[in-house]
């Protein structure tokens, strides 16, 4: 290094600031909401808990898609593959092998992790847009294999009868704790990752993979790890969601509806931002409750809205908001602050 | 004899898949773009064919002359209005835009035509067959295969010998250099998509005649087209044709082994090609 050459020049004293006041407030609110979530079984109705569990699943699956598409450049339309295999693995462990369902939720994550490795090894050979359809084929392959497996009761699906060993209250406690863990792992984990030194690499990769690689970022390895992380996170969503449903069929487990939900949430909220996922999930959650009864008309509007956003408003709602006010809730930007300014 | 029959039926099925795959190979070759509504457009055109056949009593031959121009117009407008905005190095906008459009299209078709499965009346042609020894060969599937072969040869010739084909190849090789030499890439793209979707006019008609269509069938057709293109070699016109044959034969043999295995067998061959020869049969590595 040629630092010695410049050693007579005094460097301005500065430090890197990554936290903001709005970020601190948001973190406090977030922790408060997690505590409220876990305490729900003692004050909320069963129906409310179900809705909140659903919302948590939306947030988590969208954040996993956001991590892959927004940072890794891995646009998938087949993440339901990992949702389905994890959920089925959980059902098989609990129903066929007598393992406690809440323990099975953790164990079953090995399956998406292990399947993601060969899946990525094959699919990363496909160019950009073809990667997306490749993920869809993989989801179809898993669905067809499950449909033909007597061990998993084939196309008829399975019921999680072992859950009857727990009372409704006990189940609610278990599921809200799982949801809190789900959010901590997917949203909290992404937040932590983006603020760590890997976050810099990820952001660089998002902005320009070639330039990032020239700066020493191992883009290939990072993409692989993101794909595995995305598969495991999505798998956890699947296991928790179908635990609340108590029933699973190949059609529901591997439904491309989940890809649609994740894509819609991330695109409308704002890709590449955690705030975008939260906003998008809330919009989708309420839109479905308000406009869901309109059925296919509602889906036509949803599809066209996704189209319009992809063309004209790539930053989504959070992108538009950020142009007006700068209050990051999950700040990941590094700002250089001079010591004198303090 | 059972397997020879499977082989023949597979090649005939491949003829239909070639009509799906040809347009996709053309669009990817020219723009590096994948249109996720590809399969939905097949279904849309088939359903339009059903309605025209029912309300105006049009026969299959007359439908060709109505459906193909409609398809060309749809393709041209699709590229001008939507896809030209999302052609870029980044695959995200085009995938998301066409994914959204695909969902909108499926649900809109569901409202117009309901969820029923329908087919285009062929006035007997769909049942006609020739008997060769112990094997029956359907007249319609043979027509489908012949049309697919002619279309593939026509597109290949168009790309090789025509002025428009040169403009397409120039845009595919280097769009900026092509623009400098007087090619208008947006117009080239629009006509390439018009041709690609125009071919789906044939595909939709034959799909509707050979079997049934319903509003949510599109994704399956999209996946078959995609698999054929990858097996054959990305962007290669004859590659897409050969890939369709491989896919059709695999599915036909798979169905003979076990009815639940046909589609899966096709997917597995696709994955095997990715593992062994990722550039496809005709692709250059």
Alpha-carbon distances of A153 from A138, A147, A240, rounded to whole Å? 21, 8, 20
As a whole number of angstroms, the distance between CA B100 and CA B83 comes to 13
* % residues pLDDT > 90 (chain B): 61
Cβ-contact A301, A292 below 8 angstroms? no
Contact A129 B226 (CB under 8 A): no
Contact B101 A304 (CB under 8 A): yes
pLDDT > 50? residue A44: yes
pLDDT > 60? residue A5: no
In chain B, which among 70-129 make CB contacts under 8 A with chain A?
A: 82, 85-86, 90-108, 110-111
Structural domains for chain B? 2-276 (1.10.3470)
- Report the range of poorest mean pLDDT among A83-87, B43-47, B272-276: B272-276
Q: How confident is the model at residue B136 (pLDDT cuts 50, 70, 90)?
A: confident
What is the rounded (10 degree) CA torsion for A94, A225, B228, B10? -30
| Alpha-carbon gap: B23 to the closest alpha carbon of chain A (Å) | 15
B283 part of contact set with chain A, CB < 8 Å:
no
Q: For residues B228-237, give the mean pLDDT.
A: 85
Determine the residue of chain B that is closest to A119 in CA distance: B271
Q: For residues A104-125, give the mean pLDDT.
A: 94
Question: pLDDT tens-digit profile of A247-284?
Answer: 999 999 999 889 999 999 999 999 988 999 999 999 99
Contact A144 B105 (CB under 8 A): no
Q: Which residues of A29-39 are buried (b: 16+ CB within 10 A; e: fewer)?
A: ebeeebeebee
Sign of CA dihedral B272, B275, B279, B282: negative
Question: pLDDT tens-digit profile of B69-86?
Answer: 999 999 999 999 999 988
Q: What is the ipTM of this complex?
A: 0.90
Q: For residues A320-334, give the mean pLDDT.
A: 81
pLDDT of residue A64: 95
Contact B110 A296 (CB under 8 A): yes
Residue B234 vs residue A152, higher pLDDT: A152
Q: For residues B215-234, give the mean pLDDT.
A: 91
pLDDT of residue A332: 78
> Which residues on chain A are in Cβ contact (under 8 Å) with B258?
148
In chain B, which among 20-39 make CB contacts under 8 A with chain A?
A: 28, 32-34, 36
Residue B177 vs residue A57, higher pLDDT: A57
pLDDT > 90? residue B32: no
pLDDT of residue A205: 85
The CB density around residue A116, as the number of other CB atoms within 10 Å, is 24
- Report the range of poorest mean pLDDT among A191-195, A231-235, A240-244, B106-110: A191-195
Give Cα A163 to chain centroid, integer Å: 26
Contact B32 A123 (CB under 8 A): no
> Which residues on chain B are in Cβ contact (under 8 Å) with A307?
82, 96-98, 100-101, 104
Q: Which residue has the tokens 């603020």?
A: A195
B227 part of contact set with chain A, CB < 8 Å:
yes
Give Cα B211 to chain centroid, integer Å: 16
| Alpha-carbon gap: A239 to the closest alpha carbon of chain B (Å) | 25
Q: For residues B22-34, give the mean pLDDT.
A: 88
What is the rounded (10 degree) CA torsion for A15, A17, A18, A21? 160
- pTM comes to 0.90
C-alpha count within 13 angstroms, C-beta hemisphere, residue B270: 32
pLDDT of residue B284: 66
Sign of CA dihedral B152, B153, B159, B162: negative
Residue B153 vs residue A124, higher pLDDT: B153
pLDDT > 60? residue A341: no
pLDDT of residue A342: 45
pLDDT of residue A3: 47
Contact B92 A271 (CB under 8 A): yes
């Amino acid at each position: 290094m040629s630092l010695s050459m410049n050693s007579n020049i005094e460097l301005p004293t500065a430090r890197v600031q990554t936290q903001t006041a709005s970020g601190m407030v948001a973190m406090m609110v977030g922790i408060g909401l997690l505590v409220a979530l876990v305490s729900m079984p003692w004050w909320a109705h069963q129906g409310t808990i179900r809705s909140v569990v659903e919302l948590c699943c939306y947030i988590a699956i969208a954040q996993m898609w956001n991590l892959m598409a927004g940072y890794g450049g891995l646009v998938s339309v087949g993440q339901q593959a990992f949702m389905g295999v994890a959920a089925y693995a959980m059902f098989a462990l609990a129903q066929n092998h007598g393992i406690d369902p809440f323990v099975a939720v953790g164990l079953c994550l090995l399956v998406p992790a292990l399947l993601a490795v060969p899946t990525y090894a094959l699919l990363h050979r496909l160019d950009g847009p073809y990667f997306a359809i490749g993920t869809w084929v993989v989801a179809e392959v898993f669905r067809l294999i499950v449909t033909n497996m007597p061990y998993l009761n084939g196309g008829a699906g399975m019921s999680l009868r072992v859950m009857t060993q727990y009372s409704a209250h006990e189940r609610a406690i278990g599921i809200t704790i799982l949801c809190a863990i789900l959010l901590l792992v997917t949203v909290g984990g992404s937040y932590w990752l983006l603020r760590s030194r890997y976050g810099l690499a990820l952001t660089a990769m998002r902005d320009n993979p070639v330039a990032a690689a020239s700066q020493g970022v191992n883009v290939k390895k990072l993409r692989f790890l993101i794909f595995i992380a995305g598969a495991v996170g999505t798998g956890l969503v699947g296991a928790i969601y179908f635990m609340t449903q108590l029933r699973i069929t190949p059609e529901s487990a591997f439904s491309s509806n989940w890809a649609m939900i994740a894509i819609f949430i991330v695109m409308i909220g704002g890709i590449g931002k955690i705030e975008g996922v939260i906003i998008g999930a809330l919009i989708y959650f309420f839109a479905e409750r308000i406009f869901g009864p309109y059925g296919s008309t509602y889906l036509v509007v949803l599809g066209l809205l996704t189209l319009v956003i992809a063309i004209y408003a790539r930053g989504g709602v959070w992108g538009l908001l950020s142009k007006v006010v700068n209050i990051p809730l999950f700040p990941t930007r590094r700002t250089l602050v001079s010591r004198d300014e303090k | 004899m059972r397997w020879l029959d499977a082989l023949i039926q597979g090649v005939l099925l491949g003829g239909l898949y070639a009509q799906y795959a040809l347009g996709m190979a053309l669009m990817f070759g020219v723009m590096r773009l994948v249109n996720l509504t590809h399969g939905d457009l097949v279904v849309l055109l088939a359903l339009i064919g059903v309605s025209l056949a029912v309300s105006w009593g049009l026969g299959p031959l007359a439908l060709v002359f109505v459906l193909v121009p409609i398809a060309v117009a749809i393709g041209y407008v699709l590229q001008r209005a939507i896809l030209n905005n999302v052609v870029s190095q980044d695959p995200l906008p085009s995938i998301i835009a066409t994914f959204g459009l695909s969902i909108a299209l499926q649900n809109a078709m569901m409202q117009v035509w309901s969820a029923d499965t329908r087919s285009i009346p062929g006035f007997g042609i769909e049942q006609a067959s020739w008997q060769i020894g112990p094997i029956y060969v359907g007249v319609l599937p043979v027509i489908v295969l012949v049309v697919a072969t002619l279309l593939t040869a026509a597109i290949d010739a168009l790309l090789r010998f025509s002025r428009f084909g040169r403009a397409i190849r120039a845009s595919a090789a280097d769009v900026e250099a092509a623009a400098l030499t007087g090619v208008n890439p947006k117009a080239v793209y629009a006509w390439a998509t018009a041709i690609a979707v125009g071919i789906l006019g044939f595909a939709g008609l034959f799909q509707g005649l050979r079997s049934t269509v319903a509003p949510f069938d599109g994704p399956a057709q999209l996946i078959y087209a995609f698999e054929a293109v990858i097996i054959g070699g990305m962007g290669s016109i004859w590659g897409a044709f050969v890939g369709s044959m491989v896919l059709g034969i695999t599915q036909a043999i798979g169905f003979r082994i076990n009815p639940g295995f046909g589609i899966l067998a096709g997917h597995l061959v696709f994955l095997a090609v990715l593992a062994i020869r990722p550039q496809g049969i005709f692709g250059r590595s």
